[in-house]
Amino acid sequence: MTTTLTKPPAEPVPEPPRRGRRGPKSARAGGQMHAGPVAYIILALFTIGSLFPLVWTAIAASRDNQRLAQTPPPFWFGGNLLDKIEIAWTDANMGEAILNTTIVAGISAVTVVFLSTIAGFAFAKLKFRGRNALMLIVVGTMMIPPQLSIIPLYMMVAKLDWTDQLQAVIFPSLVSAFGVFFMRQYLLQALPDEIIEAARVDGASSWRVVWHVVFPAARPAMAVLGMLIFVQVWNDFLWPFLVLTQNGNPTVQVAVAGLGRGFTPDQALIMGGALLGTLPLLLVFAIFGKQIVGGIMQGAVKG
Amino acid sequence: MTTRHDTAAPPSKGGAAPGRGPGAPASPGEARKRARLSRRWQRDLRWSPYAFVSPFFLLFAAFGLFPLIYTGWASLHTVELTAPTDMEWTGLDNFTRIFDDEFFWNAAQNTLTIGIISTVPQLLMAMGLAHILNYKLRGSTFYRVVMLAPYATSIAAASLVFVLLFGRDYGMINWTLDLVGLDKIDWQSDKWPSQIAVSSIVIWRWTGYNALIYLAAMQAIPQDLYESAALDGASRWRQFIHVTLPQLRPTILFTVVVSTIGASQLFGEPLLFDANKGASGGSQHQFQTLGLYLYEQGWVNQHLGRASAIAWTMFLILIVIGIVNYVISRRLRASS
């Protein structure tokens, strides 16, 4: 008995229920009615509405200024797509920007996931004084918009001489009350108390419990949270815009925003840059879309 | 297995490892060792929860709480962007200065109207969309992922595309209006059109996300509620009104709060909607939000103290909205 419980990496906690705590699929309400043609038509409209601006970004990027200053606007691809993307890549620093953003979002995602998992575990499964009060603070923190803190943060960055450096963007993005909340909600239902107790009886320290029991059990939620944080940091606009400049370590958003300036900007080039900055995330969504959707919905039910 | 719990084995498992005290008799040494292990065990149980939550709270203190409070402190000082560490006490001057500025009130009004234009249709559409997605559908995963594609698109990319689509002379939207025989609209210079255009960027990016949140909540509603409503002869529509909506109330409240906070912070969309006007939000400030106004005061006019005062004013407004929201939802719950 004990041997199986002390080596969880080989035999992790059983796959937690995907549907939340309300029970099996049959408990889904309202979803049994088959959709009629009207529903499909509305869905088709929403699909077009969601995708059209993205597709048109590519169409515009494949044209040039002259063509974009004519009516009717282009509805199909021209021949300039690769040229424009190449110019955006080299002249507008998009290559460097994508690398920078990958570094920033990657470090943030990994750190936030790690810290949120251990904190979420403590809030979900450990008893300690002040637990409820501290959890209340976490939830309250979710309601504070980051914009209210930017001025002192800006002063800090100026004082530390971090302007144009990636750590200026990384550090503030490590705070995620949402992450703690998300992991707590997940571990509450996905990690049975008995398993922790069994590990305790075996003499596992708290840290060992985290490493060998909590992490394996939390893996699906950790992956989803990591992707959500990655997307959020990748798309963050205001703060990078303030502390990074186009020529000093821009993130994708800073570089793309910089494309739009000037009085006769090359519209096709702007669209090329925008497309380039969006493609990596769209790719992630195309591959992991199902998991991301599941994660957002899972976080929502208990939210 | 004993090697596995060497760090914090409970006393009951204390092995026959050699005692550390040199030449100590076996039984007192063993007892001391047990006591030490037991103490370590107790300490671990007691303090490790704090160790697990402390990294978050340390980071939050440094990059969340401290800046928030310090913003309040800075709002009482004159601070220049070029020398952010030189602060000179001015009391409430920054606040009176802002409240005397017509552009502050203009920005507050724009934030409110853009907030309403963007949030209300967005949440209503999200609700309808969630309802449809909750049917039995072929390819339901596909639709869900597609609805989320705008959420994956950054503010910068989305805003720049919408600028082109809303272009006055060659934009797709005006071309369509022209096609169906309507007048072209100057989406950038006129007040309401520009606010609608900016709002449409927000709506486009967030409708699908909110729909998924509603959908998740709808799927959690117990089936028997619908069954008993159907037995009572309630139509589909009445079921939606009397079962679905009440069950969704906490979720609706959640999305309203999140959207309100988001709307009050609106910055990137109006900034990029007229990239050459930048922080002024259009030539007549017609779509300047409080976020843009804050940026203009702090980073264009270089008055960080005044910008801090704006930030704190926004914070207070949000708190008031939060309280009002809470009271209303309290009332609603009491009345039903």
User: Which pLDDT does position A262 carry in this prediction?
Assistant: 60
Per-residue pLDDT tens for B220-279? 888 888 888 888 888 888 888 888 888 898 888 888 888 888 898 899 899 988 877 778
Q: Would you list the domain boundaries of chain B?
A: 2-74, 101-335
- The reported pLDDT for the residue numbered B237 is 84
Distance CA B314, CA A131 (A): 30
B80 bridge partner residues: B83, B303
Q: Count CA atoms within 13 Å of residue B223 on its CB side.
A: 12
Q: B118: Cβ–Cβ under 8 A, 6 or more apart, which residues? A: B198, B199, B200, B202, B203, B259, B263, B266
Contact A206 B48 (CB under 8 A): yes
Q: B326 and B320 in contact (C-beta within 8 Å)? A: no
pLDDT of residue B106: 94
Asked if residue A206 lies in contact with residue B41, where contact means CB atoms within 8 angstroms, the answer is: no
Residue B17: pLDDT band (50, 70, 90) is very low
* Interface mutation vs chain A, best among B76, B127, B154, most A CBs within 10 Å: B154
C-alpha A301/C-alpha A294 separation (Å) is 11
Q: Is the pLDDT of residue B46 over 60?
A: yes
Note the residue count of chain A.
303
Instruction: Determine the pLDDT at residue A271.
Output: 87
Size of interface A-B (CB pairs under 8 A): 345
Contacts B156 to A, Cβ<8 Å: 237, 252-253, 256-257, 274, 277
State the fold for domain B101-335: MetI-like fold (1.10.3720)
Q: Which residues of chain A have pLDDT under 70?
A: 1-32, 260-264, 299-303
- Listed residue (B280, B133, B283) closest to B211, CA to CA: B133
Q: Please, which residues have CB within 8 angstroms of residue B270's CB and are 6 or more apart in sequence?
A: B114, B198, B281, B282, B287, B288, B289, B291, B292
Cα angle: A117, vertex A123, A127; to 5 degrees: 130
Task: Provide the sign of the torsion angle of the four alpha carbons A93, A94, A98, A104, taken in this order.
Answer: positive
- Angstrom distances, CA of residue A295 to CA of A120, A196, B103: 16, 25, 42
Looking at residue A35, the DSSP 8-state letter turns out to be P
Closest CA to B160 of B287, B34, B301, B272: B272
Where do the domains of chain A lie?
A: 93-301
In angstroms, the CA A234 to CA A227 distance is 10
Contacts with A281 from chain B: Cβ below 8 Å: 152-154
* pLDDT, position A32: 57
Express each pLDDT in B175-223 by its tens digit. Answer: 888 888 888 888 888 889 999 999 999 999 999 999 999 998 898 888 8
The burial of A47, by beta-carbon neighbours within 10 Å (0-12 exposed, 13-18 middle, 19 or more buried), is given as: middle
CA dist., res. B154 & res. A237, Å (int): 8
Partners of A245 in the β-ladder: A248
Find chain A residues with C-beta within 8 A of B226's C-beta.
29-30
Given A29, A53, A256, which is nearest B218 (Cβ)?
A: A29
Q: Which amino acid is at B178?
A: D
- A56 and B307 within 8 Å at the Cβ level: the answer is no
pLDDT at A88: 79
**C-alpha neighbours within 13 Å on the C-beta side of residue A75:** 5
From chain B, the residues in CB contact with A122 under 8 A are: 48-50, 52-53
The CA-atom distances, in angstroms, between B194 and each of B191, B273, B292 are: 5, 9, 15
Q: Taking CB atoms and an 8 Å cutoff, what residues of chain B touch A257?
A: 156, 268, 271-272, 275
Per-residue model confidence as pLDDT tens digits over B267-308: 989 998 887 777 888 888 889 999 999 999 988 989 999 999
Instruction: Answer yes or no: do B64 and A175 touch at CB < 8 A.
Output: yes
Once rounded to an integer, what is the mean pLDDT over residues B45-66?
A: 90
- Quick one: pLDDT at residue A65? 74
Determine contact: A175 vs chain B, CB below 8 A.
yes
Q: How many CB atoms lie within 10 A of CB A138?
A: 22
Name the CATH architecture for the domain at A93-301: Orthogonal Bundle (1.10)
In whole angstroms, what is the distance from residue A107 CA to residue A69 CA?
Answer: 42
Does B160 contact A73 at a Cβ distance shorter than 8 Å? no
Q: What is the pTM of this model?
A: 0.83
pLDDT at B9: 40
Nearest-CA residue of chain A relative to B137? A35
**Residue of B9, B156, B254 lying closest to A257 (CB–CB):** B156
pLDDT of residue A8: 34
Over 80: is that where the pLDDT of B23 sits? no
Calculate mean pLDDT across residues B65-72.
90
**Is residue B286 classed as helix, strand or coil in its secondary structure?**
coil
State whether A300 and B217 contact (CB < 8 Å).
yes
Q: Do A30 and B134 make contact, defined as CB atoms within 8 angstroms?
A: yes
* Of residues B162, B226, B315, nearest to A148 (C-beta): B315
Q: Which of A40, A50, A212 to mutate to test the interface with B (most CBs of B within 10 A)?
A: A50
Tokens representing residue B25 in the block: 């008799």
